[in-house]
Amino acid sequence: MISQSEIDALRQQEIAPQKLLLDGQWVDAADGGTIKVVSPIDGEELTTIAAATPSDVDAAVVSARQVFERGYWSRMAPQGRMKVLNKIADLIEANAKELAVLGVRDNGTEIGMAIKAEPGSAAGTFRFYAGAIDKVYGEIAPTSDDQLALVHREPVGVVGAIVPWNFPMMIGAWKIAPALAAGNSVVLKPSEAASLSLLRLAELCLEAGLPAGVLNLVTGNGAVTGEALGLHNDIDIIGFTGSGGVGRRLMDYAARSNMKRLYLELGGKSPNVVFADTPDLDQAAKVSAAGIFRNSGEVCVAGSRILVERTVHDQFVEKLKAQAAKLKVGDPLNLDNNIGAITTKQQLEGDLGFVERAQKEGGTLVCGGAQLHPEGGGYYMEPTIFTDVKPEMDLFQNEVFGPVVAITPFDSEEEAVALANGTDFGLAAAVWTSNLSRAHRMVRNIKSGVVHVNTYGGAGNNVPLAGMRQSGNGADKSLHALEKYENLKTAWIQL
């Protein structure tokens, strides 16, 4: 837990201009370029981050490749890598309050969620993969009596990790920890809209004993720094979480360079299906409100489409509206508030644009829909509910990434499945029902990497988060994530 007095003290700390981490040293960008860091809490400048040039990216990759080939980390005994990753987890936990407040000042997540979802989650992720290092084995394949076939697991080499602004520590750990556990070197690029907590994490990694060059960190704009990573011929893998548009560009960069592997998590338009036999409609409304409005809707698995059986549609809408009315939006570093700030002014403008288009296309605005203007400034928006949302509407088809939910009625299970699968995405979903057989049918028939039943937002490092269709490929979390960062090598031995 964290107290309000602790938060207030931490939010007053000055933040020095930030540098790049190249080969274990903190340095300015090659041309001295910087980017202003503006806090969504009040719209004021916090500090600056370095704007890495393509030459800085090249220096980071060269460092990562050299240390990989020398084997300081890639050929370290499993117990050695385990010790370092566990130490990183220890240091995250020891500095959790500082890390959480720093991240909130940068991206606006409400502190109650941030302290668990950011340092809390990241520490758990590093500890999970530390524990996995000596428990994932190679294989001996069945062959003839005079031959032996061995399947070895080897680190791939240099991993580029590109991380978004909504949960930078959590998602960063999902990529960094398994890549390091497998023995790879990493070049990390945080979002220019939220880099501060990952810069601090990089400091802790060095403090924990991670060899210089195993983790390099380059900050900067996606159009320059991200493109340089995507086009670099000596990066073997890129793990990316973000928008579909950037994901497509990374696929193009991979094809134009060395055909590097890409693992993409590209967001969703997740259906939350409420049947009339829901065991507790009040609980469904409460959980569904959290599933779309927490972190101002800036959650890739947010339940942004609620499909409600027509016989309980009006009743459910009223209950959801009542839940939305209870939420207090405001300063995310005030423990009395439930919902924080929109991370950037540009994102807020995009969210409001969806509201405007939904009204023009015939949607009914039940509540919210407007920007909030607190006395201290910043970027805030009311929790927003639309009904009468049809499948052809923009609000039904496209990810808002804001506190806006679309509600659509249905009359049968078959129609619910068709509506649930009626977008290009397939990241998460939920089903509310008392019918066990129906629950299993819906899990089977909804095209989604995660399907919740009578809940929303389950988490755990022991299970994968994997998208289908245009929500991406590959899995974050679980032992399956290690598969992305390893090569399989077969050895045939004549006995």
Q: Which residues are catalytic?
A: 265
**465 has which bridge partners?**
476
Residues in the chain: 495
DSSP state of 191: B
Q: Residue with structure tokens 């004993």? A: 209
Q: Is 301 exposed, middle or buried (0-12, 13-18, 19+ CB in 10 A)?
A: buried
* Token code pair at residue 48: 């600056």
177 phi, psi to nearest 5 deg: -60, -50
**Per-residue b or e along 445-477, where b marks 16 or more CB atoms closer than 10 Å to that residue's CB:** bbebbbbbbbebbeeebeebbbbbbbbbbbbbb
Instruction: Let me know the angle formed at the C-alpha of 198 by 238 and 463, rounded to the nearest 5 degrees.
Output: 60
204: left (phi over 0), alpha (psi -120 to 50) or beta: alpha
Q: Which residues contact 107 (CB under 8 A, 6 or more apart)?
A: 40, 165, 166, 168, 193, 194, 343
Query: Rg for the chain (alpha carbons), in Å?
Result: 23
